[in-house]
Amino acid sequence: MAEDEKKSRLYKLKPLVDRMPAVKQPEGHVHFRRKLIWTILILVVYFAMTNIVVYGLDPAQTMDLFEQFRAIFAGESGSIVHLGIMPIVNASIVMQLFQGADIIDLDMKDPDDKAVYQNTQKFLVIVMILISAIPQVYGFLVPGSGFIDMLDGVVSGQGLLLARILIILQLTIGCYLLFLMDEVVSKWGIGSGISLFIVAGVSQGLFTGIFNWAPAPGGDGVTPVGAIPRTIHTLQHSSAGELVGGGIEGLLLQPPNALITLPTTILIFVIVAYVQSSRVELPLAHGRARGARGRYPLKLIYASVIPIILAHALLANVNLFSMLFYTHETFQNFPLLGGQAWLGVFQPGHTEPVSGFVWYISDVRGLGEWLLPLLSNDYLRMMSPEGVAWTYSRLQIVARVIGNFLFLTVFCILFSIFWVKTTNMDAESVAEQIQDSGMQIPGFRRDPRVLQKVLKRYIPAITIFSGFFIGALAAGANLLGTVGDAGGVSLFLAISILTELYEQMGKEQMMEMHPMLRDFFGSQ
């Protein structure tokens, strides 16, 4: 009885969450070739799902609330994966905050507690899907009139309600399938499904941003939107006078896909690839086999890219609910927050804030949103939103750059700390892993407490530094800008994920050749 009383309250949900759909854990080792096949198959299925349109939706009246975050949260606007990985990430944020604050009281080293944590997160994903889907369907994902009339013939007077319920059901199924596909990749494939979906979306955006020959929407109907075709077309069809008179400046600096974003994209790629390879290596020796030595790498980006995903998900949620409070008639009367300009001002038909607290912490995308307005009054006036009588001041531009930088760095540090604790990457867990593998630090006695003491000199400091560094690097990447309107954070994530995937594939191949290494890496 005493042991039962010490268990977390989440165990009360165990009868429910244990019955939820899940992907079976493989029995024994999964061959590298089979893992690669599963990973490629899931990627193909993901791209297929992005092309399945939500049945009954009116595209003309649909607004994508995640438009500015679409590259990060994957999915495709108007498809059954319209919500992308947003609810999955939200569920992870909530569980990490509860675990970090010791509210749920689970020991992640205990297999039973860890299973309860993971299964509860599955249940929370469903809750977060509904929280994300319902407000959108009741204001921004509008059912088509023909769909409503058809359902009115089934249940008289209830066509609109039934249409909304069916759209919510489609969004729920699509998003939960993404969650199960993430489990398939994690258990049967290589890396993480969520990371795979992010890379797929960002890579698609980068490719079309560089090579797309289609004309830009709302443009002259002739000039291509891709950076390289646009450059070729402008040079071929512009006279020397037109180029000197502003053509070159527009080509270099003006969106979409300004030419200057090509070298900045390459620069970000080089920086992130270099940082990903930076690490602190602790010397190790085998306790019994003399002469057997190795190194335990502590990456500079120790907590991986997960903290920046979580920080950006938090920013997207703040943006989403601020927009609802300011524009949606149901939320406008909410006490303190409804219709308040200090929280965020949104223009009709737009998802990006134009002023208020949310504007000051939102991403600054490219040189055109900060450097050029600071240098030129013309660009400062061009940056101001349409239909308003005021313009931004240079002080506001600087405050927004600082606000976004502080938001990303502070929350990346917090999420790095929580992530390290919940994934057994803290000093105590790593010391146990090294001890169980039979390795020890040369010159120290073989004792887990000694290993913990040595690791505590590095892991807490490198965790905080890595959180700050990825937040600062992501903010800096945003300031420089990228092609394809992917955003600096998206590009940072894609490069980091691809680098980790490459290392993971190398590790898998090494374990195929040397099966004894599976115990050291904790693989089946």
Residue 247: CA count within 13 A, CB half-sphere: 16
pLDDT of residue 223: 85
Of 71, 471, 224, 396, the closest CA to residue 235 belongs to 224
SS3 call for 359? helix
SS3 call for 304? coil
Which structure tokens are listed for 10? 């989440």
Do residues 373 and 486 both lie within one domain?
yes
Do residues 338 and 474 both lie within one domain?
yes
Do residues 181 and 282 both lie within one domain?
no
Query: For 212-349, where are the alpha helices, taking DSSP H only?
Result: 227-237, 240-242, 248-253, 261-276, 306-327
The Cα–Cα gap between 156 and 149 comes to: 9
Please check whether residue 522 lies inside any domain of the structure.
Answer: no
Please check whether residue 207 lies inside any domain of the structure.
Answer: no
The Cα–Cα gap between 396 and 25 comes to: 52
Domain count, the chain: 2
Peptide bond into 297 cis (omega under 30): no
The one-character DSSP state at 367 is G
Among residues 160, 177, 192, the one where a domain terminates is 192
Please check whether residue 494 lies inside any domain of the structure.
Answer: yes
The whole domain housing 416 covers 276-514
Please check whether residue 267 lies inside any domain of the structure.
Answer: no
Do residues 305 and 156 both lie within one domain?
no
In which residue are the tokens 């502003």 written?
246
Give me the CATH number covering residue 114.
1.10.3370.10
Do residues 290 and 155 both lie within one domain?
no
Do residues 178 and 284 both lie within one domain?
no
**For each successive 10 residues of the chain (524 residues), what is the average pLDDT?**
60 82 83 91 94 91 80 85 90 81 75 84 91 86 91 86 95 94 92 88 85 79 86 84 74 79 86 83 70 75 85 89 87 88 89 93 89 88 79 94 96 91 84 78 74 88 92 89 77 84 80 58 51
Do residues 495 and 397 both lie within one domain?
yes
Among residues 143, 163, 192, the one where a domain terminates is 192
Do residues 149 and 296 both lie within one domain?
no
Cα-to-chain-centroid distance, residue 30: 28
Please check whether residue 243 lies inside any domain of the structure.
Answer: no
Please check whether residue 15 lies inside any domain of the structure.
Answer: no
Please check whether residue 485 lies inside any domain of the structure.
Answer: yes
Do residues 152 and 37 both lie within one domain?
yes
Please check whether residue 90 lies inside any domain of the structure.
Answer: yes
pLDDT of residue 130: 93
Do residues 179 and 302 both lie within one domain?
no
User: What are the beta bridge partners of residue 355?
Assistant: 345
Of 316, 300, 84, 90, the closest CA to residue 202 belongs to 84
Among residues 136, 168, 192, the one where a domain terminates is 192
Crossing angle (nearest 10°) for helices 459-480 and 394-422: 140
Cβ proximity of 467 and 406 under 8 Å:
no
In angstroms, what CA-CA distances link 248 with 66, 209, 240, 330, 477? 33, 19, 10, 48, 24
